[in-house]
Amino acid sequence: MNTYQITVLPYDRILNADEGENLLHVLQQNSLAPDAPCGGNGKCGKCIVYINDRETLACQTVIRDNITVRIPEKSDMQILKHGTSVSVQPDGRDRYILAYDIGSTTVVCYLLDGISGEELAKESILNPQTAYGADVISRIEYVLKNHSSELQYCITHVLASLAAKAAAKAGIPLSEITLACVVGNTAMHHLFLGIDPSPLTVPPYMPKVSNAMEIPAAPLLPIHPEGRIRILPNIAGFVGADTVACMTSVHFDQLDELTLMIDIGTNGEMVLGDRHRQIACSTAAGPAFEGARISCGMRGIPGAIDHVSVKNGEVCYHTIGNAEVRGLCGSGLLDLTAALLDTGFLSEAGLMQAPEYRISTSAVTLTQKDISEVQFAKSAIRSGIELLARRMQVSVGDIRKVYLAGAFGNYMNPVSACRIGMIPPVLLDRIETIGNAAGEGAKLCALNRREFAYSQFLAAKTEFLELASCPEFQDCYIDHLMFGEE
């Protein structure tokens, strides 16, 4: 079998590959792959590379010769790093501490002073696992199909890199960091720890490991030789340690008012409750609001349309960085859908007046298929809200406060979310963004062992509602596919 050389630009890397190997797989193995939201199945058309200045898809390219591949550079994405949380006194057991939030799309790292609680540095990066699929199921399927530890390697490599950058910024050696706390959804949790994720793909979709852990940092993190990692507990297969961290950040079981907390992503995790009772669920919203499965969808980087409005009957838009329009990120997609409803171009049934809507004179369009993806995501979120309220035996109108956690919740326009019916309009004036609550919860649990114990108490007392097993879910989902402020 012949072996060929692949020169990768702009990184000036030379890779060796056997004849017949898939280019995307080779790039993935070397942490150089472009995003592949569909997992490399040739469906999304977004793993674009240039071979001899000709655009092609990495997942559809077979190595049969020496080639030079240019990978489009990834622009800086807007990554949410700040959040809101309760205040606690550090217990002072560790001088320097790390806290990580491993999201499906981004990874955020905080370096903390374990004595004062001061944030010394923070770093963030896109999650390199997006090269294996936009959603966690695609990534899990890759691991199971290839019996691979690639996804664990790429995330541990990123955590180490972020730690090194944060430590350098603060002027301390990595060896003086003695504790880290890591949170993420259940799939991120399993992939980071090298735990078999297969139970997450079959009923009843429960984690292989749910309990909290404090484990040696080696070999997962290059900190003090006797350093430790705290891992928060999971509640269910798709309600993970990140949701527990969000709850911890606001001390959810101490809230007097009936509160709904939502983190809208590929899986929309939500919790409803107060100091008497808490119920959590997860809805398969899909990655539409992260820019995947949308024809001109993209992440929140310069050139992405992030906000749309209607002025004097005309649709107006704003791009991140005021750059030339390149595509639609999640918040822009939400706004555009609401705007097209307002102008009458889009009916409440989700039908467009034409096969596509073009953004001004640009090449960016919104298609009927894109609208269907929005309907699926919107209905999943709304159904979760409605069914949580039913299980709590309250009406949606009884909810006094809505916390929006995470990046999409921070950047989206609540008016648009209510206009399309994703969030019940009665809740519009009760919505409050709380930023990266998962990261804040991780910081609390890193700084104080009592908060870590409290997170375990919260997870244990929170009820889980499995929407797939609810007999009324299908009817509720279909009912809310329609747009409008119902």
DSSP string, 172-202: --GGGEEEEEEEE-HHHHHHHHT---GGGGS
Per-residue model confidence (pLDDT) at position 81 = 54
pLDDT band at 55 (very low <50, low <70, confident <90, very high): confident
CB 466 within 8 A of CB 236: yes
pLDDT band at 286 (very low <50, low <70, confident <90, very high): confident
Q: Is the pTM of this model over 0.75?
A: yes
pLDDT band at 173 (very low <50, low <70, confident <90, very high): very high
Per-residue model confidence (pLDDT) at position 78 = 54
3-state secondary structure of 471: coil
Per-residue model confidence (pLDDT) at position 10 = 85
pLDDT reading at 76 higher than 70 = no
| CA gap 339, 353 in Å, rounded | 14
Per-residue pLDDT tens over the stretch 28-37: 888 788 888 7
Per-residue model confidence (pLDDT) at position 400 = 98
| CA gap 374, 334 in Å, rounded | 8
Per-residue pLDDT tens over the stretch 319-346: 999 999 999 999 999 999 999 999 999 9
Q: Please, where are the H alpha helices in 37-128?
A: none
Higher pLDDT, 335 or 72: 335
| CA gap 1, 472 in Å, rounded | 57
Per-residue model confidence (pLDDT) at position 83 = 64
- Over the chain, what is the mean pLDDT? 92
Q: Among 248-252, 254-258, 288-292, 452-456, which stretch is predicted with the lowest mean pLDDT?
A: 288-292
Burial class (CB in 10 A: 0-12, 13-18, 19+), 354: exposed
pLDDT reading at 134 higher than 90 = no
Amino acid at site 68: T
Cis preceding-peptide flag for 204 (omega within 30 of 0): yes
Per-residue pLDDT tens over the stretch 287-323: 888 888 899 998 888 899 999 999 988 999 999 999 9
Q: Which DSSP string do the residues of 377-427 spell out, in sequence order? A: HHHHHHHHHHHHHHHHT--GGG--EEEEEHHHHHHS-HHHHHHTTSS-GGG
pLDDT reading at 98 higher than 90 = yes
Burial class (CB in 10 A: 0-12, 13-18, 19+), 210: middle
Beginning with the edge strand found earlier in the chain, give each strand of the sheet holding 304-311 in spatial order: 314-319, 304-311, 327-328
Per-residue model confidence (pLDDT) at position 370 = 97
| CA gap 1, 21 in Å, rounded | 11
Q: Which DSSP string do the residues of 137-165 spell out, in sequence order? A: HHHHHHHHHHT--HHHHHHHHHHHHHHHH
Relative orientation angle of helices 150-170 and 136-146, to the nearest 10 degrees: 120
CB 458 within 8 A of CB 252: yes
- Averaged over 119-129, what is the pLDDT? 93
Q: Among 34-48, 304-318, 459-473, which stretch is predicted with the lowest mean pLDDT?
A: 34-48
Half-sphere exposure of 374 (CA within 13 A, CB side): 36
- Averaged over 38-47, what is the pLDDT? 80
- Averaged over 126-131, what is the pLDDT? 90
Do the bridges between strand 259-263 and strand 268-273 make them parallel or antiparallel, or are there none, so unpaired?
antiparallel
CA 460 to chain centroid: 24
- Averaged over 442-465, what is the pLDDT? 97
3-state secondary structure of 32: coil
Per-residue pLDDT tens over the stretch 108-118: 999 999 999 99
| CA gap 439, 185 in Å, rounded | 12
pLDDT band at 79 (very low <50, low <70, confident <90, very high): low
Per-residue pLDDT tens over the stretch 185-197: 999 999 999 999 9
Query: According to the 3-state scheme, what is the secondary structure of 83-94?
Result: ECCCCCCCCCCC
pLDDT band at 84 (very low <50, low <70, confident <90, very high): low
3-state secondary structure of 128: helix
User: In whole angstroms, how far apart are CA 117 and each of 97, 445, 449?
Assistant: 9, 12, 13
Q: What share of the chain is helix, strand, coil (3-state, %, to 5)?
A: 35, 25, 40
Q: Among 21-30, 370-379, 397-406, which stretch is predicted with the lowest mean pLDDT?
A: 21-30
Residue 234: strand pairing partners: none
Of the candidates 5, 1, 18, 47, the residue with the CA atom closest to the CA atom of residue 292: 47
pLDDT reading at 219 higher than 70 = yes
Share above pLDDT 70 across residues of the chain, in percent, rounded to a whole number: 97
- Averaged over 62-90, what is the pLDDT? 75
| CA gap 113, 104 in Å, rounded | 27
| CA gap 244, 434 in Å, rounded | 15
